[in-house]
Structure 1
Amino acid sequence: MRKLLMVAFVILNAKAAFAQEIKDPKATEVWEPEPKIVTPGTVGIAAPSADAIVLFDGTNLEEWTSVDKPDAPAEWTVSDGVVTVKKGAGNIQTKRSFADYQLHLEWRIPENITGEGQARGNSGLFLASTGPGDEGYEIQILDSYNNRTYSNGQAGAIYKQHIPLANANKKPGKWQTYDVVWTAPRFNDDGSLKSPARVTAFINGVLVQNNAELQGATVYIGKPSYKKHGPAPIKLQDHGDPSEPISFRNIWVREL
């Protein structure tokens, strides 16, 4: 009986320890290996193709809406051909929903950025926004030029799932590009997963995700999982970063 009680005690302690671990966001941080630093070549402004849907052309946010208030317009600041995160305005997402697509987006970390780690120009590109909070599938946006953080949380990472294949970031103040191919997950009628989401992504022309298979939607704490959904909006994140907010321009998508 004493042995059985000891075994039960060990099992319960192990379960308690595991439960405690998944409540800690640091439990899903991966710091090694660090992606190799690659200096990108010159990448010019990519004009949208004839069949592209232009999501932001520098003039207005007519294609976007507030995530918190879906019937309200997006409240980020548009000026001089760029859109900049407006602190406290919340995340914005496209009015249209998409399944598979090719996306082009350009983003800029302010030259006078302060902070370190995750508190340095933090935002995110959510390839499918599946709920009212931060639910979705995130590629991280962050100043990763000379700013160490956990590898699966730096720019180019599928947040807390896939480390980028390279660190091809430019200095703050320079425009950077994301080119992404998104294959949406498919689900059976009963809600079970039929085929997982996949992502191929380039930063500044350098491959950072190569047909990466996602384990589910992005979560900050715990492990990702899937919940049945169909075509979904594309979302940009207002992270609430206390440092200077980041800007975007030249955003377009091609449905596949």
Structure 2
Amino acid sequence: MKHLTSTALAVFAISMAGSAGASAQDDPKATEQWEPVPKVVTPGAKENAPPSDAVVLFDGRDLSRWEASKDHSPARWKVHEGVVTVDKTTGNIQTKQRFRSYQLHLEWQIPKDITGEGQGRGNSGVFLASTGPGDEGYEVQIMDSFENKTYVNGQAASIYKQAAPLVNAARRPGEWQTYDIVWTAPVFAADGSVKSPAYVTLFHNGVLVQNHTELTGETFYIGKPKYKAYTDAPIKLQAHGDHSQPISFRNIWVRPL
């Protein structure tokens, strides 16, 4: 056999490398990932039922997982027929457990015979992170927005005083409504500055109404939102001080993320 010249050897090496690269590129196994294996979560047996890894906050029987926001005493809203109804005389309630980021499901109902107008019509809210005993935290508005005009960043499914919903998906008073919320908690540096902001994704009655919405801070009735550093916080339900009939809740569960 004749000896290959240096030029021929170089051409041969390039040719072999190209063939090897082509083989790897054409191999479907090269892009398969096998680890880590996602854990198994069993979905709820029925629609909106909690999955196997959920923390059930209210199952229609009692408020053992809740407390009064103002003094941490037992929550005293009225539990009846599988639902809990706001008691405005006892104030806001919040979870005893504290959370950071999570997926939250809750169902709420405006009374069929609701009266009033604007913000005085079935007003409540869910605070995704309650940072104080009053109305401090990050609020998703709950109220009757079926043919009830008010400012758009204060209607149902708004991030209160920050972001209007993409659409109005409200049902009529008397019908049950659902919120499915993904809450990405803010992250703070050691000096209290914001390393990454909070985000909210919200489905109202199955309709996307907040799409990874960035928050500019906590909810304030007067003044612009601003951040206050915290680590973890309860989830709070609001007992609003308007004079309309109180709303009810059922089937509340959360999945820490």
Q: Same fold (TM over 0.5)?
A: yes
Show the counterpart of 2:67: 65
Q: Does 1:54 align with 2:53?
A: no
Deviations 1:2-36 (A, max 9, x none): xxxxxxxxxxxxxxxxxxxxxxxxxxxxxxxxxxx
Residue 189 of structure 1 aligns with which residue? 190
Give CA-to-partner distance per residue, 1:165-219, whole Å, 9 cap, x none.
Answer: 0100000000000000000000000111110000000100000100000000000
Name the larger-Rg structure: 2
Q: In the aligned structure 2, how far is the partner of 1:191 from the partner of 1:107?
A: 35
Partner secondary structure for residue 119 of structure 2: coil
Q: Which residue of 2 aligns with 1:172?
A: 173
Counterpart-to-counterpart distance in 1, 2:241 and 2:218: 21
Which aligned pairs between 1:216-235 and structure 2 lie closer than 5 A?
216-235=217-236
Superposition map of 1:81-120 within 5 A: 81-120=82-121
* CA distance in structure 2 between the partners assigned to 1:115 and 1:164 by the alignment: 22
- In 2, Cα distance between the equivalents of 1:78 and 1:235? 17
Unaligned residue ranges in structure 2 (runs of 5+): 1-45
Secondary structure at 1:118's aligned position in 2? helix
Q: How far has the Cα of 1:87 moved from its partner?
A: 2.1
**Structure 1 residue 132: deviation in Å?**
1.6
Name the CA distance, whole Å, in 2 between partners of 1:87 and 1:234: 18
Q: Which residue of 2 aligns with 1:241?
A: 242
Check if 1:146 corresponds to 2:178: no
- Aligned amino acid, residue 130 of structure 1: T
2:52 is paired with a residue whose SS is: coil
In 2, Cα distance between the equivalents of 1:95 and 1:206?
A: 30
Amino acid at match of 2:154: G
Alpha-carbon distance between aligned partners in 1 of 2:47 and 2:137, rounded to the nearest angstrom: 28
Q: Which runs of 4+ in 1 moved over 6 A?
A: none
**Match in the other structure for 1:5:** none
Residue type matched to 1:145 in 2? F
* One-letter identity of the residue aligned with 1:255: P
RMSD of aligned alpha carbons: 0.8
Distance 2:242 2:75 in 1: 18
**Equivalent residue number for residue 13 of structure 1:** none
Greater relative contact order: 1 or 2 (C-alpha under 8 angstroms, separation 6 or more)? 1
Name the amino acid aligned to 1:77: K
Normalised by the length of structure 2, the TM-score is: 0.82
For the residues of structure 1 that align with 2:136 and 2:98, how far apart are their CA atoms?
A: 15
Secondary structure of 2:153's counterpart equals helix
Using the size of structure 1 for normalisation, the TM-score is: 0.82
> In structure 2, what residue type is equivalent to 1:97?
R
SS at match of 2:127: strand
Question: Which residue number corresponds to residue 209 of structure 1?
Answer: 210
Q: 1:184 corresponds to which letter in structure 2?
A: A
Asked if 2 retains the 8 angstrom alpha-carbon contact of 1:88 and 1:240, the reply is: no
Counterpart Cα distance in 1 of 2:137 and 2:104: 16
Q: Distance in 1 between matches of 2:86 and 2:126?
A: 13
Find the residue that maps to 2:120 and give its secondary structure: coil
3-state SS of paired residue (2:118): coil
